[in-house]
Every structure is written in structure tokens, then in C-alpha cells.
Amino acid sequence: MDSTTGDDLRSNMSTMLAGALTLALSHTNRRTLAWAEEHGGANGDDAAADGNGNGGGGSTATSRYSASNEDERLQSRILVISVSGSTDAAHQYIPVMNSIFACQRLNIPIDVCKLSGDAVFLQQASDATKGVYMALAEPRGLLQYLMMAFLPDQRSRRHLVLPTRVDVDFRAACFCHRRVVDVGFVCSICLSIFCEPPPGNDCMTCGTHLDIEGNAKPALLPRKKKKKKRVNGASGTGTPMSTPTPGP
């Protein structure tokens, strides 16, 4: 951050969401370690080891120990106030998802305060980490939203009905045109997503040659002919019988 200049910020037109999340995680990790050293708090590995050594009641003891340990240790949250578009961070998809998984593992909720538009990645981040996602209908009430929805900590949230988003968009954005796609092409090496085959079938992120048969004609299987069902009592087409000759 000390080496960042004004020209660097003006040349970059997108938000540095991945860098902000990584910086927040680094600061949280330092504060958590410092707090544990001062208060002698136990970490998650000690809780797991204690639970595994308790015979038949290990699962119950582990859950109780984890709950008490969760209340005793330092709890952190991340608040993202976003005004960018939905696909602004498409080129940061991999580092953003890595940050989301790290927050999910450390039980750090990501709260999102959306002032304008909608963001697919932030919806996924809030849903995966059990955070609060709110798109403000009235931006002039920003202070009230921050105090009522985002101020309560994790202990208080257990007793509150938090605003949640049901219709979470789990689609991904392509790396080439930053469009949200339903079906696309994924690189098997770096997991980059493309809405169409890249030029020369080479991944634009890692350069791996992709074996894409986009122009090949799909193989068509012949349909099986359905057998006609016979009607009950009918014997099909039979041999015609001659008319008997009348007697004298």
C-alpha cells in the first residue's frame, strides 16, 4: 500500500475487491493471534483433539467445547460497502473465491451493504459465510441501516431475525467479456471461465491449450421404433374364410 501511487489508482478502473478481502483477512489473523496470546485462548485444533479423546460422548463434548470456545475467542466480521456493477470483479474471480473460502473456514461473516446495482460475487460471499446482504432501497438512511442491520455482533445475531436474500445468483462471470453465463467453457488447470472458445483454444489466463470440439457435429443416435400394441381380443389380420354353400 505504501508503494501505490495516484497514477496506479487512476489506471485501474475496477475495484480491488480481492485485495481488500485479503488485507482484511491478514489484519484479522494478526489480531486473533495477538488476542489469543494475551488471553491464553485455545484454537480450533485443541477443541478437535479434546473432542476426539472423549470416548462415546466425543461428539457432544466437541459441540459444547466448540460453542464455548466460539464465545471466548475474538470474533471478527468483514463489511463491504459496494457501489460497483455486477461483473466489475470478474477478472478477480479466483482470488475472491479463495478469500470467501478462507472466511468460511474461519467463521468470519462477510456483510454486504449494496448502495447501487447488484453484485453476483458479493451475493455468493454473503450466502457462503452466513453474512448479511442488503441492497439499500433508500440510500439516505445509510446510518440507520448500518446501526440496525450491520452493527450487531455474532452473539447478538443469534437472537435477531436478520435480513436475508433468498434469490442468490450462483452463476459465474466469464473472464473474456465479464458476462454472467449459464453455460460456458472452463479451463481444467486454472478454472477460468469463458463464454465462448478462446482464440486458438488457448486459455487466456494460464495459456494452456484447451481441447475444445466446439465446431464438431453432435452424434445423433437413431430412434428406436416403437412396436404397435395389439388390442385385446384381436388376432391381427387373418386369412379370409369362404362363404358356405346353402343346402337343398
In the predicted structure, residue 115 carries a pLDDT above the cut 80 = yes
Q: What is the mean pLDDT of residues 134-158?
A: 86
Report residue 111's pLDDT band, with 50, 70 and 90 as the boundaries.
very high
- Chain segment 210-236, per-residue pLDDT in tens: 887 655 555 566 777 777 776 665 555
pLDDT at position 30 is 92
Any idea which of 95-99, 131-135, 207-211, 235-239 has the lowest mean pLDDT? 235-239
pLDDT at position 78 is 92
The model's pTM: 0.61
pLDDT at position 247 is 62
- Chain segment 164-203, per-residue pLDDT in tens: 777 777 777 788 877 778 888 888 888 888 888 888 888 8
In whole angstroms, give the CA distance from residue 159 to residue 147. 16
pLDDT at position 14 is 67
pLDDT at position 50 is 45
Report residue 53's pLDDT band, with 50, 70 and 90 as the boundaries.
very low
In whole angstroms, give the CA distance from residue 169 to residue 9. 30
Write down all domains in the chain, each with its CATH number in brackets. 14-38+74-157 (3.40.50.410), 172-201 (no CATH)
In whole angstroms, give the CA distance from residue 163 to residue 134. 7
pLDDT at position 65 is 44
What average pLDDT is seen over the chain?
75
- Chain segment 66-110, per-residue pLDDT in tens: 555 555 678 889 999 888 765 556 667 778 888 999 999 989 999
In whole angstroms, give the CA distance from residue 243 to residue 236. 21
Q: What is the mean pLDDT of residues 7-27?
A: 80
